[in-house]
Amino acid sequence: MSSANLPSEKFRLGMLLSDTRYRGTSLQVITFIIFVAVFFWLVDNTLKNLALLGKDVSFAFLGMRAGYDINQRLIPYTNDSTHAMAAFVGILNTLLCAFVGCIIATIVGVFVGILRLSKNWIIAKLMSVYIEGFRNVPVLLWIVMVFALLTEFTPAPKAFKGANPEATMFLFDSIAITNRGTYLPAPVWGQGSTFLIIIFLVSVLAVIFFTRYAKELKKNTGKSLPSFWISIGILIVPTVLFYFILGKPVDLNYPYLKGFNFKEGIHLRNSFIALTLALAFYTSAFIAEIVRSGILAISKGQTEAAASLGMKPNKIMSLIILPQALRVIVPPLISNYLNLTKNSSLAIAVGYMDVRGTLGGITLNQTGRELESMLLLMGFYLSVSLFISSIINWFNRSFQIVVR
Amino acid sequence: MKNYAYVREKSIPPSPPPLIEVGVIGWIRQNLFSSWFNSFLTLFSLYFIFICLIDFIPWAWGGHWNAKSLRECMDLDPNVACFSVLAARWEQLLFGLYPADQYWRPTLTFVFLILSIIPILFPKFFRYFWFSVIYPGLAIWLLWGGSIWSIAIIYIGVLLGVASFTVLSKGVIRSTSVNLTLSVVITLLFFLFLSSTLTGFLSYLIPISLPFVESLRMGGFTLSLIVGISGIVASFPIGILLALGRQSNLPIIKMICVGFIEFIRGVPLITLLFVASVLLNYFLPPGTNFDIVLRVVIMVTLFSAAYMAEVIRGGLAGLPLGQHEASASLGLTYWQSQRLIIMPQALKISIPGIVNTFIGLFKDTTLVSIISLRDPVGLASTIRADTKWNGIYWELYIAIGLMFFIVCFGMSQYSQYLERKLQTDK
């Protein structure tokens, strides 16, 4: 019995599992074999099933005529366009919703997050109610609720009619909120507007240079300029000045009522507004928590040390707390942007034609190409997500605290 | 020594602070009106709350509960809520299309659910943990019905495996891996050859069975709970394994885990659910067709397992390297050190993230309405499609939102309680 327990140098088959020198390798080999086997099993099944249904794997359907209309689009598209074009319209719609949603979510989220730390009890409680309310109710429910709010509680276009209308437009008759969507004035680019845009871009450049100069000045002499107000001035004044010098080259095309509907202007459908607002508010609750915890993560000692150096509260915030808090805040913030983008696939609940609605919806149903459509759809979302996570990784690498 | 005219021998008792600095008034002054800006904010928020409640309270308080249709509600008083839709359809919202005479089954399942999570939540009751172990089988049997033995046989098989492992370990063979393999083989043999005969025999001997209910009849909050709870229970261990795999130094295992996690996290749950409902039949042998609820549960589980893995990986990364090295220097094997040293600490750090994943999973169960299963959100549109309730929104949505809010808020409160309880460094 005892001799059997002595370690023997001779290799036995059992050592593949019991000896730590070989165990890792053999475990990997086993896993790899199982993985490959399962993969081939799935592929084999798929091929068999496709053969059974008489289908093949081909992406030729992308070049065929789509034959359906998309009511909200950023690029020209008719039902004679191809399926690929429809998918592209959907992608742009997804990105538009995600982009607008992220901006609103960030603004609201930062606002709510800071207010939740307020010393004012009632404000802090209100913000907690906001955060908990949005975080603990499914986003799908919020989307359909906002949609119901927009379609049920807004006036029909015909309510704006007549000498004494039931409903009025906002902001000097420029914005009409109706149950068919919101109508905004559309800009008309007239003669000289290119020049105006160039002026604006130049002032943006000037602001960037000015900020650099202000930073250098501060570094070298310790003098600080009121850089915020000067930047705003540089940004706005030349553009406004040239706007009048050039004779108002950009005009606004106001929406107006004709028949039973509004004409002209930009028409934002309720589906888009509901989806974007609901996603933005939902995500803003998460962003608020991130901002709050980011600010709390910067220890109180930092604030006190800065105060003892004689800094003013707003300087402490902008020079000491925020630069450190941003390091904590930004990565989860970006991953929340990613979540918002992925959640925009819930567009189907309100009938907004995002990429899941076009490529993964109507195209899939019309052509019967489930496998190919889903592959493309997943490929799109995956590439967006990989792109965003590479941004996070880049941020983490470049803003890491350098430990010496 | 009596040169001094007067020496105070006792200190004067401190005088009470001014009345406006303490008590209710002091609190109000400090928290609500400390500056002109704060006062403005306070007044503004009070006004805001007032506006919100002035319409809402009479609307909700005077709501009708007994009308037969929305039209009847409107005839009674169009300015108040019509909760009659809840009174008329609450059974559907809770149970979906479950047979009406069998409602006691989901109800009982729910009661048992609460009983079975008590031992997990509160260590005081841990001796009743056996009930939590038999609960999943019990719940499946109660909800879907059929013979009790077809479920019990799984437990019997697993028990047989465990028993054979124990017997083998106490016997002559001393290698754990051999014992494990043997007991797995025994269990598999049991399931392959013996189980069906035994099930038939036991059902003949002690016939306990419930009428069978098919999956498509599950719905309402019951469905949300089925998908949510099974997802939570299954995704936790899978998430731990994935996190360990991602941290492991075996390149192939690490690669598979990273690929899986990044793939799942990169696509929306909706596309995965579509894969479950449309594509899964392509990937399985021709002719297989298994339960849609099970497919959804699998997808939801995989989805949240990937998120769970990332949360736990965060916890693992938060542990100092010294913990690994210390446990290795004590001579613990990989699994021992994970079980005794690493995981308890890593899981403790990641409690908030884990519970957030659970909450996210539970909220995501509403997405099954998009592949036309009847969860509460899906049922809301079904109810609105009825001519009697056409045009009703808020009463339904508020009720559904409230149900989800209670469950999710409860979970987050429990996680905060757990964090406070497990806090050892203060």
Helix (H, G, I), strand (E, B) or coil at A178: strand
Task: Tell me what the mean pLDDT of segment A210-223 comes to.
Answer: 84
- Is A237 touching B (CB cutoff 8 A)? no
Q: Which comes out higher in pLDDT, residue A22 or A40? A: A40
Residue A35: list chain B partners with CB under 8 A: 252, 256
- B194-241: per-residue pLDDT in tens? 777 888 888 787 777 788 888 888 888 889 999 999 999 999 999 999
| Beta-carbon separation of B286 and A385 below 8 A | no
Predicted local distance difference test score (pLDDT) of residue A401: 65
Predicted local distance difference test score (pLDDT) of residue A285: 94
Q: Which amino acid is at A364?
A: L
Q: Which comes out higher in pLDDT, residue A212 or B67? A: A212
Q: Does pLDDT of A162 surpass 70? A: no
Residue A50: list chain B partners with CB under 8 A: 282
Percentage of chain A beyond pLDDT 70 is 89
- Distance between B52 CA and the closest CA of chain A, angstroms: 12
Q: Which comes out higher in pLDDT, residue B425 or A362? A: A362
Give domain B64-98+218-426's CATH number out of 3.40.50.450, 1.10.3720.10, 3.30.70.20, 3.90.1150.10: 1.10.3720.10
- Closest by Cβ to B271, choosing from A119, A123, A374: A374
CA dist B343 → B314, B315, B324, B340 (Å): 12, 9, 11, 7
pLDDT band at A381 (very low <50, low <70, confident <90, very high): very high
Kindly identify which residue of chain A lies nearest to residue B35, measuring between CA atoms. Answer: A120
Q: Does pLDDT of A146 surpass 50? A: yes
- Is A51 touching B (CB cutoff 8 A)? no
- Residue ranges per structural domain of chain B: 64-98+218-426, 146-210
Instruction: Give the separation between CA B40 and CA B362, rounded to whole angstroms.
Output: 40
pLDDT band at A106 (very low <50, low <70, confident <90, very high): very high
Contact B150, B179 (CB under 8 A): no
Contact B228, B362 (CB under 8 A): yes
Predicted local distance difference test score (pLDDT) of residue A9: 62
| Beta-carbon separation of B278 and A374 below 8 A | yes
| Beta-carbon separation of B401 and A28 below 8 A | no
- Closest by Cβ to A121, choosing from B31, B263, B405: B31
Percentage of chain B beyond pLDDT 90 is 19
- Residue ranges per structural domain of chain A: 12-53, 83-185+254-398
Q: Does pLDDT of B41 surpass 60? A: yes
Q: Does pLDDT of A340 surpass 70? A: yes
Residue A26: list chain B partners with CB under 8 A: none
Query: Which site among A140, A340, A386 would you substitute to test the B interface, given the most B Cβ atoms closer than 10 Å to its Cβ?
Result: A140
Instruction: Give the separation between CA A130 and CA A286, rounded to whole angstroms.
Output: 11
Contact B226, B143 (CB under 8 A): yes
Q: Which comes out higher in pLDDT, residue A20 or A239? A: A239
Contacts of B289 (CB under 8 A, 6+ apart): B281
Q: Does pLDDT of B319 surpass 60? A: yes
pLDDT band at A330 (very low <50, low <70, confident <90, very high): confident
Q: Does pLDDT of A1 surpass 50? A: no
Q: Where are the alpha helices (DSSP H) in A180-299?
A: 193-221, 227-245, 270-297
Q: Which comes out higher in pLDDT, residue A150 or A276? A: A276
- Is A132 touching B (CB cutoff 8 A)? yes
CA dist A68 → A353, A373, B271 (Å): 12, 16, 22
Q: Does pLDDT of A2 surpass 50? A: no
Based on its alpha-carbon atoms, the radius of gyration of chain B, rounded to whole angstroms, reads 29
Percentage of chain B beyond pLDDT 70 is 98
- Closest by Cβ to A17, choosing from B177, B249, B364: B177
| Beta-carbon separation of A137 and B250 below 8 A | no
- Closest by CA position to B79, among listed B63, B97, B66, B93: B63
Q: Which comes out higher in pLDDT, residue B130 or A180? A: B130
What DSSP string runs through A10-59? Answer: S--TTHHHH-HHHHHHHHHHHHHHHHHHHHHHHHHHHHHHHHHHT-----
Predicted local distance difference test score (pLDDT) of residue A14: 67
Q: CA-based angle A143:A146:A148, to the nearest 5?
A: 105
Q: Does pLDDT of A13 surpass 80? A: no
| Beta-carbon separation of A346 and B262 below 8 A | no
Q: Does pLDDT of B306 surpass 90? A: yes
Task: Tell me what the mean pLDDT of segment B257-269 comes to.
Answer: 91
Instruction: Give the separation between CA A352 and CA A61, rounded to whole angstroms.
Output: 23
Task: Tell me what the mean pLDDT of segment A11-38 comes to.
Answer: 80
Instruction: Give the separation between CA A86 and CA A63, rounded to whole angstroms.
Output: 10
- Distance between A297 CA and the closest CA of chain B, angstroms: 15
* Tokens 């099954």 found at: B368
- Distance between B128 CA and the closest CA of chain A, angstroms: 30
Predicted local distance difference test score (pLDDT) of residue A17: 66
User: What fold does the segment set A83-185+254-398 form as a domain?
Assistant: MetI-like fold (1.10.3720)
Q: Which amino acid is at B154?
A: I
- Closest by CA position to A119, among listed B308, B30, B200, B257: B30
Chain-wide mean pLDDT for chain B? 85
Q: CA-based angle B103:B105:B107, to the nearest 5?
A: 75
| Beta-carbon separation of A138 and B268 below 8 A | no
pLDDT band at B47 (very low <50, low <70, confident <90, very high): very high
- Is A150 touching B (CB cutoff 8 A)? no
Q: Which amino acid is at A216?
A: E
Q: Which comes out higher in pLDDT, residue A188 or B82? A: B82
The burial of B348, by beta-carbon neighbours within 10 Å (0-12 exposed, 13-18 middle, 19 or more buried), is given as middle
Angle between helices B251-266 and B292-318 (to 10 degrees): 120
- Is A28 touching B (CB cutoff 8 A)? yes
pLDDT band at A396 (very low <50, low <70, confident <90, very high): confident
The count of other CB atoms within 10 Å of the CB of residue B33 is 15
